[in-house]
Chain A
Amino acid sequence: MIRFILGRLIKAVFILLAILVFNFLLIHAAPGDPAAVMAGEAGAADEKFLADLRANFGLDQPLYVQLWLYIKGAVQLDLGYSFRQQMPVAEMIGDRLPATLLLTGVAFVLSLVLGVAAGVAASARQGRWGDTIISTFALLFYATPLFWVALMATLVFSVWLEWLPGFGYSTIGAGYTGLAHVLDVAKHLVLPASTLGLFFTAIYMRMTRASMLEVSRLDFVKTARAKGLSRGVIQRRHILRNALLPVITLAGLQAGQIFGGAILTETVFAWPGIGRLMFEAINQRDYNVILGVFYISAAMVLLFNLITDVIYVIVDPRIRLTT
């Protein structure tokens, strides 16, 4: 097991490096650079202004030098500096990470629990009205674009009913502390987290249901039934445990994205998270910030893939780890 993990970690480092180089080249292939964007926003600029900015940003050096400097920094976990924002990238990401983790984490747990529960419930009632209702809702949420759900949720719960704040992380200027602050943030979290969670809930539900039905037709389930085990025990211990493997795969993928943030949800709800930071950085060609977010997300995806593989072994002892 330890050998497996070490082997994978070593591989991961090389994959990460390859991703970094690829991202770097990709982002520099896009037209325009941060200096041109900043000058563009000013609406007027002369040669000196652009040259000063480029020199300041290090963009006047050949591309391979810039790449080498970036990789050298990245290996030492130095993510560089955002010249646009006059801040180290690590600090910027650190500022935004808590908000993102809260949003994506809550959405992740919510969707996993709800999705699996709904999937189990639907499969147990296959073909009956309970199944139909759950499946219909799942299909609806699966097929509806996220931004539309977000806008409608704001319209209904924030504008019409005035139950929940429509955007933001906390009430600005209220100066809440302690429990009041926690409650305030929780209130602001409801709409974005459920919007983001609904989509994944639908996916987990559909996957769990399909997988449960597939497993329930296998011979060992018949055997269990023949042994006289109760319906509940068969569902939980025999079917669910075996049906969970594809769900775990998917959860591993979603977990990797937790650190990458949710661009759409964060934008519509003005949630000050990583996704928005990255999206704005892309528009502004703030290279170091984009690469920094990519770096962190890539590392997290690799890490969670590894964790997923380890969980497989725990859930299904038939699986053996080989590097």
Chain B
Amino acid sequence: MFKTTKLTAAVLALALAGPLAAQDGTPKAGGTLNVVIQPEPPSLMIGLVQNGPTQMVGGDIYESLLRYDFDLKPEGQLAESWEISEDGKTYTFKLRKGVVFHDGEPFTSADVEFSMDKFLRETHSRMRTYMEHVESIETPDDYTVVFKLKQPFGPFIGIFEAGTAPMIPKHIYEGTDFANNPANNTPIGTGPFKFDKWEKGSFIHLVKNEDYYMEGKPYVDEVYYHVIPDAASRAVAYETGKVDVLPGGSVENFDVARIQAMDNTCITDKGWEYFGPLSWMWVNNDNKPLDDVKVRKAIMHGIDREFAKDALWNGLGKVATGPLSSSTRFYDGDTPDISYDPDQAKALLAESSYNGETIRILGLPYGETWQRWAEAVKQNLSEIGMTTEIVPSDVAGWNQKVADRDFDLAFTYLYQYGDPALGVSRTYMGDNAAPGSPWNNVADYQNPETDKLFDAAALMASPDDRMAAYKTIQDKIVEDVPNIWLLELGFPTIYRCDVKNPVNTAFGVNDGFRDVWIDK
């Protein structure tokens, strides 16, 4: 078992090192793109629903002002140019001219103001907190939008992507009950593809937006998202040629090696830089004996994360070094060592207050890989002398248990949204620890010093100052081990090599298939 996984890891590494489907050749127009969607989204209205599949399909239909390359540098999308004032408090966007929504109405600065100030503030939890920083939005003319901030907010330039700040048609939603507007079933955006048909349980069909504002784009005529509930059947769908793109997480990791050995098959783990999915185990810092930092450190050093990466994740991803993903801004690789060291773990445990109590591990109910991972951790911990039990649950049960803090260790993974102020501070801020939510400071980590730094760093205008602050934060947090960081997850996108450019931004397939063409 171990031997073969090592081998696949090597094969994979080789494949990943190969040239990524870059802009090779002249794009050809036409063709149908068949993509797996899993699970079936509840809705395609990206301003109301923020789950993965909704963003994937919605990313073709809706757009935002910007998009971001693999290094999270902004590129223009609906905005032609933008300017940030010296003091970091004024953001001016110049919009593209001649952009129309799918129903033919023009897209103007009024739509930007409506989307950001009215719609998303009402419906979008993350946007609500970001908009707290905004003093006013001005629209001097149809193609200019000026955001005036209360104080500098460094991450602000990073929020203009379709999943966070989709541009929503004012003429359809103004004055309506957003959540129950019948138009939610026939989404209208400015994106490269228009909604055509959704046969629930079978497929979602999008067609080319003929009036798209970019010359010649999109190249493909239509996109089918296939709903296939069983992971093995999704693998078969690719093997039998029914689908051409398997977005990250579509098939079980142990099937990846077999599939990518097929002819005309490419694989990439790019396209997740903005999300920076980082997995960890929540540690219930309020429960004995986990309130003892030595116990937490023992667990941290007692877990073989290289093994998990190679055996469970096919060698994809990276072993985490602390609370930030390496693709997130202000990541500091030089934090205290938390690598696998069972001897040190045993020594720490011997000095600690641990007396053989049974530690409850709540696995993540997201399929085979996660289940096996919980088993591997159980094994690791028994080797350093801890007694554990795995608590089974389904998704709803998991949410409830984590929200109620009814666990000792709980697997999770969360997105970081490119900036520690957007996706990391929420996990460690002392005043964000109230039970009832599975995404706040679930571990109940309390450190006034890092709290203060987090608050200050978000509002600093200079990136250098922010870097210095986040470096201290990362050192302090790693020293305290409030959570057991596992892996920066690598979700491979698998696709036929003649499908060009399926992944060319930090959002991967979630950013729509604007630039995709099929070389046939």
Measured between beta carbons, the chain B residues less than 8 angstroms from A246 are none
A37 touches B399 (CB 8 A): yes
A277 to B437, CA, bound (A): 28
A267 touches B403 (CB 8 A): no
B51 touches A92 (CB 8 A): no
Measured between beta carbons, the chain A residues less than 8 angstroms from B379 are none
A162 touches B224 (CB 8 A): no
Residues of chain A from 29 to 62 with CB closer than 8 A to chain B in the complex: 30-33, 36-50, 52, 56
- The residue on A at minimum CB distance from B222 is A173
Cβ-defined partner of B396 (8 Å) among A155, A270, A284: A284
Residues of chain A from 236 to 258 with CB closer than 8 A to chain B in the complex: none
Measured between beta carbons, the chain A residues less than 8 angstroms from B201 are 95-96, 99, 272-273, 276-277
Least CB distance, B233 to chain A, in whole angstroms: 5
Least CB distance, B439 to chain A, in whole angstroms: 5
A172 touches B237 (CB 8 A): no
Measured between beta carbons, the chain B residues less than 8 angstroms from A16 are none
A159 touches B236 (CB 8 A): yes
Least CB distance, A34 to chain B, in whole angstroms: 8
Q: Does A209 contact B (CB under 8 A)?
A: no
Flag the segment in B36-44, B322-330, B332-340 that touches A. B36-44
A223 to B208, CA, bound (A): 78
A42 touches B51 (CB 8 A): yes
Flag the segment in B77-85, B91-99, B125-133, B350-358 that touches A. B125-133
A268 touches B233 (CB 8 A): yes
Least CB distance, A286 to chain B, in whole angstroms: 9
A49 to B120, CA, bound (A): 11
Cβ-defined partner of A283 (8 Å) among B50, B395, B415, B436: B395
B125 touches A46 (CB 8 A): yes
A86 touches B228 (CB 8 A): no
Measured between beta carbons, the chain B residues less than 8 angstroms from A50 are 437
A169 to B396, CA, bound (A): 29
B1-45 near A? 1/0 per residue, CB < 8 Å: 000000000000000000000000000000010100001101100
Interface size of A by Cβ–Cβ distance < 8 Å?
53
Cβ-defined partner of A43 (8 Å) among B50, B179, B394: B50
Q: Does B184 contact A (CB under 8 A)?
A: yes
- The residue on A at minimum CB distance from B394 is A283
B184 touches A272 (CB 8 A): no
B192-203 near A? 1/0 per residue, CB < 8 Å: 000000011111
Q: Does A84 contact B (CB under 8 A)?
A: yes
A220 to B158, CA, bound (A): 87
- The residue on A at minimum CB distance from B243 is A172
B397 touches A43 (CB 8 A): no
A32 touches B399 (CB 8 A): yes
A207-229 near B? 1/0 per residue, CB < 8 Å: 00000000000000000000000
A44 to B123, CA, bound (A): 12
A241 to B181, CA, bound (A): 60
A-B pairs with beta carbons under 8 A, tally: 156
A283 to B180, CA, bound (A): 23
Q: Does B382 contact A (CB under 8 A)?
A: no
Least CB distance, A96 to chain B, in whole angstroms: 6
Q: Does A151 contact B (CB under 8 A)?
A: yes
A241 to B184, CA, bound (A): 58
B237 touches A49 (CB 8 A): no
A168 to B36, CA, bound (A): 13
B203 touches A37 (CB 8 A): no
Q: Does B230 contact A (CB under 8 A)?
A: yes
A306 to B210, CA, bound (A): 58
Cβ-defined partner of A46 (8 Å) among B32, B128, B229: B128
Q: Does B303 contact A (CB under 8 A)?
A: no
A95-B200, A270-B228 known; A36 vs B179 contact (CB < 8 Å): no
Least CB distance, B207 to chain A, in whole angstroms: 11
Q: Does A269 contact B (CB under 8 A)?
A: yes
Least CB distance, B312 to chain A, in whole angstroms: 21
Measured between beta carbons, the chain A residues less than 8 angstroms from B179 are 52, 56
Measured between beta carbons, the chain B residues less than 8 angstroms from A285 are 396
A85 touches B227 (CB 8 A): no
Cβ-defined partner of B439 (8 Å) among A30, A43, A283: A43
Q: Does B459 contact A (CB under 8 A)?
A: no
Residues of chain B from 222 to 272 with CB closer than 8 A to chain A in the complex: 222, 224, 226-230, 232-233, 236-237, 239-240, 242
Measured between beta carbons, the chain B residues less than 8 angstroms from A119 are none
Q: Does A154 contact B (CB under 8 A)?
A: yes
Measured between beta carbons, the chain B residues less than 8 angstroms from A184 are none
A182 to B199, CA, bound (A): 18
A262-283 near B? 1/0 per residue, CB < 8 Å: 0000011110110011001001
B51 touches A270 (CB 8 A): no
A38 touches B236 (CB 8 A): no
B233 touches A37 (CB 8 A): no
Cβ-defined partner of A167 (8 Å) among B222, B236, B398: B236
Q: Among B50, B233, B394, find the residue whose CB has the most chain A CB atoms closer than 10 A.
A: B233
Q: Among A44, A92, A159, A167, find the residue whose CB has the most chain B CB atoms closer than 10 A.
A: A44
A172 touches B42 (CB 8 A): no
A285 to B394, CA, bound (A): 11
A157 to B207, CA, bound (A): 32
- The residue on B at minimum CB distance from A81 is B180
- The residue on A at minimum CB distance from B236 is A166
Q: Does A158 contact B (CB under 8 A)?
A: yes
Measured between beta carbons, the chain B residues less than 8 angstroms from A39 are 125, 399
B396 touches A30 (CB 8 A): yes
Given contacts A47-B436, A155-B236, A173-B205, 12 further A-B contacts (CB under 8 A): A36-B403, A41-B51, A43-B50, A85-B42, A168-B226, A172-B226, A173-B224, A270-B226, A272-B227, A273-B201, A277-B201, A283-B396
What 8 pairs across the A-B complex have the smallest Cβ distances? A32-B396, A272-B201, A41-B51, A42-B50, A31-B400, A32-B400, A49-B125, A40-B399
Interface residue ranges, B against A (CB under 8 Å) = 32, 34, 39-40, 42-43, 49-52, 123, 125-126, 128-129, 179-180, 184-185, 199-203, 205, 222, 224, 226-230, 232-233, 236-237, 239-240, 242, 393-401, 403, 414-415, 426, 436-439
Task: Show 16 A/B contacts (Cβ-Cβ < 8 Å), sorted by A.
Answer: A36-B399, A36-B403, A37-B399, A41-B42, A42-B51, A43-B50, A43-B439, A46-B129, A151-B232, A154-B233, A158-B240, A172-B224, A269-B233, A270-B202, A270-B233, A272-B227
